[in-house]
Amino acid sequence: MPGSAGPVLVNVQALRAVAAYMVVAHHIANNLAHYTASGRVPELPALGARGVDIFFVLSAFLVVTRSDRQGPSPGAFLVQRIVRIVPIYWLLTGLAALGIAVGYRLFDRGGITPDALLAALFFLPDFTELGSVRRPILVVGWTLNYEMAFYLLFALCLLAPRRGRVALACGALGLLWVAQVSGAGGLAGYWGADCVLAFALGMLLARSLPTSGLPAALAGGAMLAGAAGLCALEVLYVPSGLPHPDLWGAMLAGLVVLGAVALERRGITLRVAWLHRQGDASYAIYLVHVFVLQFVSKAWKAAGLTQSVAGLVVMVALMVVLVPLVSLAFHRHVEVPLTRYLRGRGRLGGRGPGLAL
């Protein structure tokens, strides 16, 4: 049965860390191109942003494999997801909102409206009067809007028999995507973004990959093809105006996840302890790194250290060192104790799947 492997997949842990640091690298590059070295450093291809596609595929894959094994009720599933994701996100969103309220310009925000705060706290899109969507107060939270919507959808599908729930969830995501490409706006257009099909791919992968995995050469080839495809997508095809790049990104990320899981089921694993610790802390890395980048870059700008190449090199090196240190400290001393306490209060077990990695 898919998901019969143990609760922690070694290669998945490594892939979590890789995806998290892809996003970190993307944000460091953006910081240079648009803030600390604007006009002097070109904007690089957004390859690192494709870590989000990997997260989404992993999230759905793990949701299906673990729900098949554990058989939670819809309510228990949602409570587990809320306990795992919401407290830490609310804590850091509150920290960002407080900083902005007292006068710091964090994440390019000079102020916060009550509507923006409520949208951020309840994982809803913050629409402007023109119909566009503002990023949440904690900018990386936009991915959690999609994660939480997927969890709610899957919880509803848990009411169906095991054989039908993945088909129902994929069908619902497909209908939302069709609505979006047909020109639907508002919530239907938002929830039907191309990236949601990564969840469908992850669920289908969980049900279709044999428990014995694939031949090692085929699995390794799939992983390499997916990684190379993601590079080509951002370097060659996105700049040329390829339609629906997030759809292509989801499919290529699916190949990466397919290869990683299939290799593990063949007994081929990447057992690197420090990388797995980073995988454990990947949710903290994802949420905390933006604070580290903001702090370091603003301090460097204030000190006038961004005017030289040497100053920028030292700044980036400091970011690279501080992100894992601060994130791991937050993971060990805030995230883990708080999550354990809340799970104990609710008598909930398990290491939840998803972008809350």
**Residue 142: both structure tokens together:** 């936009």
Over its length of 357 residues, how does the chain's per-residue pLDDT go in tens digits? Answer: 233 334 458 999 999 999 999 999 999 999 999 999 998 999 999 999 999 999 999 999 999 999 988 888 999 999 999 999 999 999 999 999 999 998 888 888 888 899 999 999 999 999 988 878 999 999 999 999 999 999 999 999 999 998 899 999 999 999 999 999 999 888 999 999 999 999 999 999 999 988 777 899 999 999 999 999 999 999 999 999 999 999 999 999 999 999 999 999 888 988 888 888 999 999 999 999 999 999 999 999 999 999 999 999 999 999 999 999 999 999 999 999 999 999 887 554 444 433 443
Q: How far apart are CA 297 and CA 327, in angstroms?
A: 17
pLDDT for residue 61: 96
pLDDT for residue 193: 96
Q: How far apart are CA 39 and CA 112, in angstroms?
A: 29
CB proximity list for 311: less than 8 A, separation 6 or greater: 300, 305
Helices (H), 192-335: 197-208, 216-232, 245-265, 273-280, 282-302, 309-330
Across 276-286, b (16+ Cβ under 10 Å) vs e yields bbbbbbbbbbb
> Domain limits of the chain?
10-346
